[in-house]
Every structure is written in C-alpha cells, then in structure tokens.
Amino acid sequence: MKKDTIKIIFVAGARPNFVKIAPLIEVARKNSKIEYKLVHTGQHYDRTMSEVFFRELHIPLPDYNLHVGSKNNVLQTAEIMKKMHEVFLKERPDAVVVVGDTNSTLGGALSAAQLRIPVAHVEAGLRSFDMTMPEETNRKVTDHLADFLFVTEQNGVKNLLREGIARKKIHFVGNVMIDSLKKQKMKISHSGIAKKLGVRKKRYAVLTLHRPSNVDDTVQLNHFLTLFLEIQKKIKIVFPIHPRTKKQLLKTAGFDPARYPNLLLIDPLGYTEFLSLIKDSMFVMTDSGGLQEETTFLRVPCLTIRENTERPVTVEKGTNILCGRSKTKIMREVNAILEGKRKKGEIPPLWDGKSSQRVIRILAGN
C-alpha cells in the first residue's frame, strides 16, 4: 500500500487466531506508518479459550468486542458480519487483516469485501480438499475475497495458483504462529506443567480431539476410546479436553473413567503451559491443524487422527504422520515411537520467527 499512514483493523475471535494475531500487532505497533485497531469477535469467550491468551501473548485489550458467543456456524458468521459491518463503517480502515480459517476469519473478510475494503488473509492457501470441514469453506471463500494472500508453505502457493488467483496477490512469508512460539520459547521451557501434573518428561503422550467428525459421532468416538484404552496401557496419556469433546465423552456409554487409569483428563490449558506440555511429551495424537505445525517446529512426533491435512509440509518435511482413523495404523506408529523409531523431521522454509515482519512490511508498502 502506497500511503503515508494506513489504518489496519485486525480481526480475531478464536483461540488459534490469537496466537497468529499477537506477533502481527507487536510488529505493527512499532511501524510509524501504521495505525491499527483490534476487533475481538467473541467467538471464543471464556477464560481458557480467550482471556488467558491475551495475557500470556501480551495482546492489547481489543478496541471492539463483538460478543457474538456460541452459535452454529451460519448464525455465528452472520452475527460477525453484521457487527463487523458497523465497525468498518465507523472506522473506515485501509485494510482488514484476518487470520486462519475460523468463522471470525470468514465473517471479517465478507464484511470488508462488501464495503470494498482490501482484505489481507494470513495463512492463505491451505487446503484439506475435504469440503465436509467448515474450515475448508472458510479458507477457500476468504482466499478468493482477499487482496493480499500471505502463505505459510509452498503448497499454499500452488493451491492458490491452481484456483486462478493472480500471482501478484500471493506472498510466501512463512508461519506467523511460529513467531509466537519462538518468542515464548523460554517461558515454555520453564513452565513446569509436566511436574505439576505428575508426569515425567518424554514419558507421556498428549491427546487432543475436538473435530465434530471425530467426537460428535458416538460410533466414531467409541472407536477411538477402544484405541486409547490400549495405548494408555503402554504410556500415560494427558488429555486437555475441549468443552465440546468433554460434553460428548461424558454422555458416551462406552466411557468408564475407571477403565482408563493412565488417561489423565484435564481442563484446557493456556498457551504457555500447553506448548510446554507438548514440548516435553514423547509424542502427540491430535485432529488439530495448528498443532501439526507446532509439533514440527518443536521436533515432537505427531500422529494426526484425520484422513487429510491442510498442512502437508508438516508431513513432507516435519514430524507429522497422517494416520487417518485406522486403529491398526495409529497403533503401529505408537509402537514404533515407543521402540525409539521416531520421525525427526526438519523445520520448513521461512519458519524463522520473522513472518510477521514480512507481512507488515508488505502491507505498509516498505
């Protein structure tokens, strides 16, 4: 952008958004060409999903909190659009920055595009090629509305070009989430959460599970429970449990906590403690997207319990293994790790802690 000063509105609303927005705001704050405002949509609103991230990542208090709360995807996105529209009309920004693939991402992008405000999408180009995932819809629509597409890995560039997006809009900048991780690395190393939970470093696994396709289907959830029953006989599993997963688990007839003495259910953790728990684990089992990237950077083996991934670089170069939902495949990989045959991986290009600087430099026209 070629102006003396520009006004940017950053939009965030869910736990993964905060990790990506924090380093962008830190860099923007130091740039004399940029005036910025932060909008918190309120998509995630309780302490463990929102407040603690603002404190730990030193994110300034939002200029606007839309308080959209918990709703289904359509109603939540519509509410975000409606309230963002009012903010944009009042503030008249030169650009709107959205991150990731949440309803806040899509709602912010749609509102801005309707008002002809340039949209910058950070973490553009990721594709699972699974349109049953709401996140895939959010990614694709946001990318085709965006004027600036900031990409974390070269696969994203290829995806965008294949979909007909102009090359001049696409910028390979690396991964802003790694910027946050690197900045917090010292705190992560000294968190002490493993000791607090009574588990020994590199003698436990971490489990996260939250996708509707995995936890809302009782048959599928019971399938996983029989798998975790076997794994916890071999190694302690720490399970920071997502609220929606806890709700489903407690009403699943097949779950009896007494049968799982080595499955430790805990409440969601803040950013620092959670990453510390990951760093000190032997391996991770997850259906999360961002965790595939964090484990790759921390060199921790990751078993992704999904049929696809929108982050293929974590498989190609990193520590991620795409296991699908096959009990045989997952158990084989668990046994391999327990036998010392771990995937070491390497850190992908431009995951160097400077991605936010590249984004802001491009937006400021430097």
Residues 6+ apart with CB under 8 A from 129: 136, 308
Q: Would you state the pLDDT for residue 14?
A: 85
| CA-based nearest residue to 304, from 186, 205, 216, 208 | 208
Q: Would you state the pLDDT for residue 47?
A: 53
Q: Which two tokens stand for residue 279?
A: 């760093």
Q: Would you state the pLDDT for residue 50?
A: 65
Q: Would you state the pLDDT for residue 218?
A: 83
Whole-prediction pTM value? 0.94
Report the DSSP beta bridge partners of residue 264: 238
Asked whether 165 and 245 are in contact (CB, 8 A), the reply is: no
Residues 6+ apart with CB under 8 A from 347: 296, 297, 317, 318
Q: Would you state the pLDDT for residue 260?
A: 93
Q: Tell me, yes or no, if 144 is annotated catalytic.
A: no
Q: Within 13 Å of residue 333, how many CA atoms lie on the same side as its CB? A: 23
Report the DSSP beta bridge partners of residue 95: 8
H helices of 92-167, in order, are: 103-114, 134-145, 154-162
236: amino acid identity, one letter: K
Q: Extract the residue ranges of the chain whose pLDDT is less than 70.
A: 1-2, 44-50, 253-254
| CA-based nearest residue to 93, from 52, 150, 35, 161 | 35
Domains and CATH numbers, the chain: 6-174+351-364 (3.40.50.2000), 186-338 (3.40.50.2000)
CA gyration radius for the chain? 20
Catalytic residue among 85, 171, 190, 210: 210
